[in-house]
C-alpha cells in the first residue's frame, strides 16, 4: 500500500563542473537543506549535472560535420556540427523535421536530438559547446549510490532523469535514463483489482513515474534544483537499471 509521497527539492544546488565529486556535492546539499537520508529514499538527479561532472562536453569548433550531417542539418535547420554530434551518439535516425531530429540513441532511447542541447550550459564567448548524455547512466547511478552509502549495507536508491517529448502528446516529461538500487518496473500481473479480477498486463514504470514527479520541482530554466529526494513511494529494491524499461525492438509497434 502506498501512503503519502514527498517530493523534496535540494535547493540552491551549486553549479557543477567537470571533475566535481557529485556525491560530495549532494551530501553537502542534503546537510544544507537539513535532510537526512532514510531507508527507502530515492534521489532523482538531473542528467545535466551528471554529464557536467563527467565532462561530457563537446566543443563545436572541434567537430567536422560529415556530408550526411550537412544534409540533415539543412532539413532540420540546425548547426551541422551539432547534427554530427547527434549522429555520433545515435544508432538510427527515425524522423527529421525543422527544429528536431528523432533518433534511437546508442543507449536505446528514442528521443529528440540524442538528448544533446545547449540549455543551462556555460558558453565561453565565441566557443560554443554542447553536452552529451552520460556514457552509461545506469553505471553513473550505481556509482552515486555506492558513494552515498550511509550505514553498512544501506544506500539510497538513485534515478538519473532527463526531459523528453512523447510521440502522441505535447510537452515534455521527466524520464529515467539511469537507475540503481530499485526495480524500475512494478509488475502487478497476478494481483487482484477492486472487484477481484486478476491483473494480466499491468506493469508500472515506477522509475519513470518518479522521474516525472521530480521534474516538476527540478524545473527547466533557472531553478538550480537538479537533485530531488522522493520519500514514501512504493518502490521495490532491485539490481536492474533503467535499461530494463526499454521495449524490445521486435515488440515496438511504432517504428
Residue owning grid cell 552520460: 134
Residue-level pLDDT at 221: 67
Residue-level pLDDT at 123: 83
Could you tell me if 227 and 48 are in contact, meaning their C-beta atoms sit under 8 angstroms apart?
no
210-229 core/surface letters (b: 16 or more CB in 10 A; e: else): bbbbbbeebeeeeeebbbbb
d(CA 132, CA 58): 8
Please give the grid coordinates belonging to residue 110.
Answer: 528514442
- Reading the chain (255 residues) residue by residue, the pLDDT tens digits are 457 999 999 999 999 999 999 999 999 999 999 999 998 999 999 999 999 999 999 999 999 999 999 999 999 999 999 999 999 999 999 999 999 999 999 999 999 999 998 888 888 888 899 999 999 999 999 999 999 987 656 789 999 999 999 888 999 999 999 999 999 998 776 677 778 787 767 778 999 999 999 999 998 767 789 999 999 998 888 887 999 999 888 888 877
Query: Which contacts (CB < 8 Å, 24+ apart) does range 123-128 have?
Result: 127/59, 127/61, 128/59, 128/60, 128/61
Please give the grid coordinates belonging to residue 141.
Answer: 547511478
d(CA 86, CA 98): 15
| Those residues with Cβ within 8 angstroms of residue 195's Cβ, 6 or more apart along the chain or in another chain | none
Residue-level pLDDT at 1: 45
Q: What is the CATH number of domain 6-54+135-247?
A: 3.30.1330.100
Residue-level pLDDT at 151: 65
Q: pTM score, two decimals?
A: 0.93
| Those residues with Cβ within 8 angstroms of residue 141's Cβ, 6 or more apart along the chain or in another chain | 45, 158, 159, 160, 178, 179, 180, 181, 241, 242
Superfamily of 57-131 according to CATH = CofE-like domain (3.90.1660.10)
Neighbours of 130 (CB within 10 A): 22
Domain ranges of the chain: 6-54+135-247, 57-131
Three-state DSSP class for residue 143: helix
Residue-level pLDDT at 143: 97
Residue-level pLDDT at 190: 67
Could you tell me if 134 and 179 are in contact, meaning their C-beta atoms sit under 8 angstroms apart?
no
The two domains 6-54+135-247 and 57-131 share their CATH topology (first three levels equal): no
d(CA 54, CA 57): 9
Amino acid at each position: 500500500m502506498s501512503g503519502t509521497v514527498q517530493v523534496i527539492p535540494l535547493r540552491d544546488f551549486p553549479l557543477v563542473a567537470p571533475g566535481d565529486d557529485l556525491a560530495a556535492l549532494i551530501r553537502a546539499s542534503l546537510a544544507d537543506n537539513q535532510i537526512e537520508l532514510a531507508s527507502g529514499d530515492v534521489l532523482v538527479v538531473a542528467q545535466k549535472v551528471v554529464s557536467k561532472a563527467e565532462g561530457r562536453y563537446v566543443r563545436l569548433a572541434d567537430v567536422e560535420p560529415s556530408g550526411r550531417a550537412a544534409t540533415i542539418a539543412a532539413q532540420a535547420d540546425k548547426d551541422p556540427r551539432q547534427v554530427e554530434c547527434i549522429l555520433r551518439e545515435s544508432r538510427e535516425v527515425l524522423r527529421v523535421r525543422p527544429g528536431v531530429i528523432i533518433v534511437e540513441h546508442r543507449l536505446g532511447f528514442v528521443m529528440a536530438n540524442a538528448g544533446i542541447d545547449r540549455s543551462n550550459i556555460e558558453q565561453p564567448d565565441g566557443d560554443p559547446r554542447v553536452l552529451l548524455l552520460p556514457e552509461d547512466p545506469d553505471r553513473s547511478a550505481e556509482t552515486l549510490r555506492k558513494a552515498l552509502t550511509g550505514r553498512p549495507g544501506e544506500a539510497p536508491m538513485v534515478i538519473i532523469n532527463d526531459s523528453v517529448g512523447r510521440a502522441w502528446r505535447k510537452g515534455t516529461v521527466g524520464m529515467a535514463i539511469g537507475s540503481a538500487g530499485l526495480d524500475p518496473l512494478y509488475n502487478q500481473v497476478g494481483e487482484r483489482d477492486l472487484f477481484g479480477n486478476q491483473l494480466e498486463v499491468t506493469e508500472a514504470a515506477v522509475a519513470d513515474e518518479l522521474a516525472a514527479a521530480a521534474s516538476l520541482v527540478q524545473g527547466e530554466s533557472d531553478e538550480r534544483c537538479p537533485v530531488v529526494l522522493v520519500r514514501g513511494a512504493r518502490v521495490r529494491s532491485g539490481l536492474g537499471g533503467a535499461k530494463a524499461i526499454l521495449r524490445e525492438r521486435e515488440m515496438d509497434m511504432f517504428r
